[in-house]
Amino acid sequence: MSTTPHNGDQLHAPGAHAHGEGEVHVHLVPPWLLLGVFAALLFFTFVTVAVTYVDFGRTINVWIALGVAVAKAALVALFFMHLRWDSPFNGLVFIASLFFVALFIGIAVLDTKEYNVNFLPPTSTSARPQ
Amino acid sequence: MSELVSRQQAAVAAQGDTNSPLRDHHVHPPHLAHHFESPAQQYDSAKIGMWVFLATELLMFGGLFCAYSVYRHNHPEVFEYAHHYLDKFWGAFNTVVLITSSLTMAWGVRMAQMGAKRGLIVCLVLTLLGGVGFMIVKSIEYSHKYHEHVWIGAGNKYSKAYNGPRNEEGPLSAQHSETNALTDKEREHTATLNQMAKPVATTEPVGQPWRDPNMGTPDEAKIKPMQVIPAGLSEAARQQQIKAVDEHKHSIKYEDLPQIEKDRVATFFNIYFMMTGLHGIHVLVGMGLITWVLIRATKNEFGPTYFTPVDLVGLYWHLVDLIWIFLFPLLYLIH
């Protein structure tokens, strides 16, 4: 972050109307889009809560919840976080990190069943001598 | 210092003078660092840097999500049982709070880009209030769990290392503090249970650390029972007791869990506190950053040519929202 000392009054005056080379390209997200994304996020939040009252079976319910969460995350990343209009490289960094997280979790979950979950004996009262 | 200021003044003066050598040679805005060619390059570099940082944040949370996945995959019943301690309403409320504060943050970036100082300040204050609201709800939830003895580590009544009041309200209500749900007759039972449980409690001091029976010679006496059920109570009365405290809240009953899963209920809470705790720390950091940007905004430091700090702090805030979007259904909405 630049900490060059400057005078606030001088800061905006020169650049505000300039369109010279090397100027920061300003992309404004239109208000209707921001509000639309916000409404969609609220709607998805409602859906993900409502779906827990319907029984589709343990696995399906988890995948529905995750699917809705991914849709919400995509909306936030694309529009609120501006990825839709950003340099694709920023999106690539983001997707790459998600890929490695998925790899990490996927491989870890794959072989969890290879271990004996009952390594510690139960500590029930019935285990004590009668 | 004085040299910088005079150069800036010269640069500003040169804007109007097309013949000035300063205009096409080394004029640059005061916020442009020397090692960057142009404001655009500086802005893009800052953004890439922020995204790389956000990627490392995701990888850090990835470790916790991994622990969650492995544990839920192996012990789905534990999650189904224990998640009833979390209040869906507060979870959904906090989701809405964070989404709203994300909207105001995105709007604030727009305001900064337009050079609307007042609008930016309003947006940042609203975002900050969102963070405050989130933390207030979180602290209500945390303190509730503390008082219900479903706290971290040894503060969790489901843990083998539990060091809280074990027999003070009766062994069953040590599992569930909702004694209000009991009828008078059931309270009598609880009182009887207390009487019977006391001698057991004195032979096994509460503070004694739990010993892994797999280490060294197995010694049955050293295995601390998690729940003391006196032999004198009839099976029917015992079932009735458990029903009274379990039924109105839990779709899965504690007694229906296999013993091996009962021993693991405490781990759900450890995962819950680690994930929401790390997330909460991020909310606090985000609030600090927003305050910093807010102070700079009041000094009129941002506008169409320079809004990088607002933008980057916004990205951080959105990431915190993004992580909560996953935490909420994974922890609160277990079906």
Q: What is the pLDDT of residues B13-50, one digit of tens each?
A: 555 555 554 444 456 677 888 888 888 999 999 999 99
Cα-to-chain-centroid distance, residue B130: 15
Residues 215-274 of B with CB under 8 A from A: 220, 223-229, 258-260, 262-263
Show which of residues 94-123 on chain A sit within 8 Å of chain B, judged by CB atoms: 94, 96-98, 100-101, 104-105, 108-109, 112-113, 117-123
CB contact A15 to B (< 8 Å): yes
Question: Tell me, what amino acid is at B237?
Answer: A
Inter-chain residue contact B318 with A100, CB threshold 8 Å: no
Q: Report which of B166, B164, B156, B129 is spatially closest to residue B287, judged by C-alpha positions.
A: B129
Q: What is the pLDDT along chain A (130 residues), one digit of tens a residue?
A: 333 333 333 333 334 444 456 788 888 999 999 999 999 999 999 999 999 988 888 889 999 999 999 999 999 999 999 999 999 999 999 999 999 999 999 999 988 877 665 555 555 544 444 3
Q: Taking CA B326 as the corner, what is the angle to CA B286 and CA B101, rounded to the nearest 5 degrees? A: 40
* Residue with tokens 């003391």, as numbered in its chain: B228
**pLDDT at position B27, please?**
64
Lowest average pLDDT, out of B7-21, B125-139, B245-259, goes to: B7-21
User: Which one has a higher pLDDT value, B119 or B261?
Assistant: B119
User: So what's the pLDDT on residue A82?
Assistant: 95
Partner-chain residue, chosen from A45, A72, A89, that has the shortest CB–CB distance to B92: A45
User: Which among B63, B74, B319 has the least Cβ separation from residue A112?
Assistant: B74
Please name the residues in contact with B215: beta carbons below 8 A apart, sequence gap of 6 or more: none
Cβ-count burial of B207 within 10 angstroms (0-12 exposed, 13-18 middle, 19+ buried)?
exposed
What would the mean pLDDT of B236-262 be, rounded to a whole number? 65
Residue with tokens 């390059």: B41
Maximal CA-CA distance, chain B: 103
In chain A, positions 44-83, which contact chain B (CB-CB < 8 Å)? 45, 48-49, 51-52, 55-56, 58, 61-62, 65-66, 68-69, 72-73, 76-77, 79-82
- What is the rounded CA–CA span in Å between residue B187 and residue B171? 12
Its ipTM equals 0.78
* Of the partner residues A72, A94, A128, the one whose CB lies closest to the CB of residue B325: A72
Burial of B151: CB neighbours in 10 Å, binned 0-12, 13-18, 19+: buried
Candidates B22, B102, B296, partner chain A, best to mutate (most A CBs within 10 A): B102
Which chain A residues contact residue B212 at CB under 8 A?
120
Among B48, B114, B225, beta carbon nearest to A90: B48
Question: What whole-number percentage of chain B has pLDDT above 90?
Answer: 47
Distance from C-alpha of B4 to C-alpha of B231, rounded to nearest angstrom: 86
Can you tell me the distance from the alpha carbon of B79 to that of B77, in angstroms, rounded to the nearest whole number?
Answer: 5
Judged by CB atoms closer than 8 Å, whether chains meet at A79 and B106 is answered as yes
pLDDT in tens, B159-174: 878 877 765 443 343 4
Query: Which residue is closest to B37 within chain A, CA to CA?
Result: A22
> Contact at 8 Å (CB) between B322 and A71?
no
Spatial CA neighbour of A77 closest among B318, B211, B109: B318
- How far CA B41 is from CA of A25, A47, A114, B30, B68, in Å, comes to 10, 42, 51, 15, 40
Question: Which of B30, B106, B226 has the CB atom closest to A34's CB atom?
Answer: B106
Q: Chain B partners of A94 at a C-beta cutoff of 8 Å? A: 51, 54-55, 58
Q: H or E stretch including A15?
A: helix A8-15
Phi-psi region of B149 (alpha: psi -120 to 50; beta: other; left: phi over 0): left
What is the pTM (predicted TM-score) of this model?
0.73
- Closest-CA residue of A relative to B214 is A120
C-alpha B230: how far from chain center:
39
The DSSP symbol for B149 reads T
pLDDT of residue B314: 98
When comparing pLDDT for B310 and B82, which is higher?
A: B310
Give the pLDDT of residue B335.
78
Give the pLDDT band (50/70/90) at residue B247: low
Is the minimum CB–CB distance between A11 and chain B shorter than 8 Å? yes
H helical segments located in chain B: 2-15, 21-24, 39-74, 76-82, 88-114, 117-147, 171-175, 184-203, 235-246, 259-262, 265-298, 308-327
Three-class secondary structure of residue A26 per DSSP: coil
pLDDT at B273: 97
Label residue B307 by pLDDT band (50, 70, 90): very high
Angstrom distance (rounded) from CA B255 to CA A126: 13
CA distance B108 to A29: 11
CA distance B129 to chain A (A): 18
